[in-house]
Amino acid sequence: MPARAGSTLPSTRERAEETSALRIVILTPDDDTDEYDRLIAMMTAEPLRTQWWNDAESRADYGDSYVVVYELDEHGVEVPAAWAGWIQELDLEQRFWDGKGGVGIVLRCCNSYVRHGFRDRTPELYALAYQHRHEHVVARLGLPAYSFLYAQPIPLHLADGWQYHTPIDQPGESRAQPGGELHRWWEMRRPAIVMA
C-alpha cells in the first residue's frame, strides 16, 4: 500500500533558510519561541490588518501556521515581508469525499500575502514563500490540499499539480468593503501526495 509522502514538518534546524538579505522560517503555534506570537501580533495590528483584508480578503488567525520571508526594511531592520499560511483541518465540507467516508484531515493553504513596501522592491517574495511552503509543508505532509486564489498565483500552483475546482470561466467574486475593488478568485485543489 502506498505511504503518505511524509508526516512531519521539518525539524527546527531545517526550518530556517538563509538567502542573500532574506531569512525564510516556518512558524507554528507549537513553537517554543515568542516569534510566532510576535508575528500574529504584527499581522493583527493596524494598518496591516486593514491593508491585508482590503487587498486579499484574508487575515491572521491564531493557530494557523506560516512560512515567513524576512527582509530588511528601509531602516535596515529585519521584518516579515511575505508569508504563506496553512492549517490542517477536518474535511467537514467533504471537499475530498471519496464515496467511502472521505479522507479526514486536509490541508487548507491560506493567508498568503506580501506587505506593502516590499512588492515592487522584491517581486519574487510571494513565489519564495509559496515554494518554501510547497516543498516543506504540502509535499512533506502529503495531505490533500485546497486554496482560494486570485489569478496571479495560479500558474505557480498549476505547475505543482494543483487543479481548478472552480470552473475557469466562472470565478467567485467578492469585495472586501462595500464599493471596494472587485476580487475574482478560484478554488484550487491538490490530491494527496503518495509515494510508492
- Residue ranges and CATH numbers for the domains of the chain are 3-195 (3.40.630.30)
pLDDT recorded at residue 1: 30
**pLDDT tens string 5-21:** 444 555 444 445 555 45
Task: Name residues whose C-beta falls within 8 Å of residue 84's C-beta, 6 or more positions apart in sequence.
Answer: 66, 67, 109, 111, 112, 126, 129, 130, 132, 133
User: In terms of Cα–Cα distance, which of 103, 86, 85 is closest to 94?
Assistant: 103
Q: Which pTM was predicted?
A: 0.85
- Provide the β-strand partners of residue 107: 88, 145
CA distance 113 to 124: 12
**Which parts of the chain register pLDDT below 50?**
1-7, 11-15, 20
CA distance 97 to 95: 6
pLDDT recorded at residue 9: 59
pLDDT recorded at residue 2: 34
**pLDDT tens string 23-61:** 999 999 998 789 999 999 999 999 999 999 999 999 998
CA distance 187 to 167: 9
pLDDT recorded at residue 33: 81
